[in-house]
Copies of this chain bind each other. A is one copy, B any other.
Amino acid sequence: MDSKIFNLKAKLEVYKAMTNGANFADCPVRDVIQGISGKWSSLLVMALAEKPYRFGELRRLVPDISQRMLTQTLHELQRDGYVHREVFPTKPPSVEYSLTDLGRSMFLPLQQLIQWAELNHDAVRDARAAFDANQG
């Protein structure tokens, strides 16, 4: 991974635009954001924000995710500290996934974005329709 994600000018400009004063020495923001902006990540965090779920439950909850991507995304979320994975010695063994404190903390701002999406999806849909109409 390259830490020189922005050049100096970019650093300063985005810094100004975003933080109004926090430390921005290297640019880890993008790294963190990309960890939660995968195709399935936010969706799974959203689901787990309600309550813990087992692997199979999540698979049924999000019917169009492949088992492969479910495993992989949960693994990444666990690695980044958002999700806790616990195996119960039932037969067959069951695995429960839940949000950690960090995950719940991250969900708060994520939820804001989700709410925005909910309130503005009509505007986005209209914009798309208008754009597609103009492009033919």
Number of identical protomers: 2
**Chain B residue at minimum C-beta to C-beta distance from A26:** B121
A6 touches B127 (CB 8 A): no
Size class of the contact patch on chain A: 35 or more
A9 touches B120 (CB 8 A): no
Q: Report A15-46 CB contacts with B as 1/0, cut-off 8 Å.
A: 01111001010001111111111110111001
- Complex Cα distance, B105 from A117, in Å, reads 11
B124 touches A17 (CB 8 A): no
- Complex Cα distance, B13 from A46, in Å, reads 10
- Complex Cα distance, B116 from A65, in Å, reads 27
| Residue A87 interfacial (CB < 8 Å) | no
With contacts A102-B124, A113-B112 known, is A42 near B33, CB below 8 A?
Answer: yes
| Residue A93 interfacial (CB < 8 Å) | no
B131 touches A79 (CB 8 A): yes
Which residue in B18, B51, B114 is a CB contact (below 8 Å) of A33? B114
- Chain A positions within 8 Å of B, measured between CB atoms, are 2, 4-7, 9-10, 13-14, 16-19, 22, 24, 28-39, 41-43, 46-47, 49-51, 60-64, 78-81, 102, 105-106, 108-121, 123-128, 130-132
